[in-house]
């Protein structure tokens, strides 16, 4: 691709150069060229974020209905899986899996709740009062 052919479509970053490409300059040598975006890439990223937000909403509804604990919502919101959350909280995966169930979550002590709250960047109160915090989201 030649330097002048590097896509400059407005992307998600509103004109800020976010991508680097190697392209041929006028002398036929490769050079680094900044790009502000490429429409197909932007469309794919937007579509992926839609899927992520839909899944987040599904988990939120399951938490509000009492099927899952608030930990499941914040795990989804932060795009974490069970292993990653276990690693961040220094808890075994089997315990994190149990804490996803409301009956086990309701019995968690301050120490464990603080690990989750710190990992998610929220307060313990937000974790405890999930229904009031996010019921009208």
**Residues 25, 71: one domain?**
no
- 3-state SS record for 3-62: HHHCCECCCCCCCCCCEEEEEECCCCCEEEEEECECHHHHHHHHHHHHHHHHHHHHHHHH
Are 74 and 120 found together in one domain?
Answer: yes
pLDDT tens column, 46-76: 899 999 999 999 999 999 999 999 999 999 9
List 37's β-bridge partners, or say none: 8
Look up the pTM and report it. 0.75
* In a shared domain, residues 26 and 73: no
Residue 126 located in a structural domain: yes
Instruction: Note the pLDDT tens digit of each residue in 114-124.
Output: 999 999 999 99
Residue 52 lies in a domain: no
Query: Can you give the residue range of the structural domain that contains 82?
Result: 67-134
Whether 55 is covered by a domain: the verdict is no
């Amino acid at each position: 691709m030649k330097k002048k052919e590097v896509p400059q479509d407005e992307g998600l970053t509103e004109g800020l150069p976010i991508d680097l490409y190697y392209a041929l300059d006028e002398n036929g040598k490769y050079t680094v060229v900044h790009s502000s975006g490429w429409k197909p890439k932007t469309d794919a990223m937007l579509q992926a974020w839609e899927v992520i937000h839909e899944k987040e909403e599904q988990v939120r509804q399951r938490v509000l209905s009492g099927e899952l604990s608030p930990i499941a919502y914040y795990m989804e919101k932060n795009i974490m899986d069970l292993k990653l959350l276990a690693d961040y909280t220094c808890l075994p995966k089997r315990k994190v899996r149990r804490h996803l169930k409301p009956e086990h979550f309701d019995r968690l002590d301050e120490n464990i709740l603080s690990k989750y709250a710190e990992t998610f960047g929220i307060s313990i109160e937000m974790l405890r009062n999930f229904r009031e915090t996010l019921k009208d989201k």
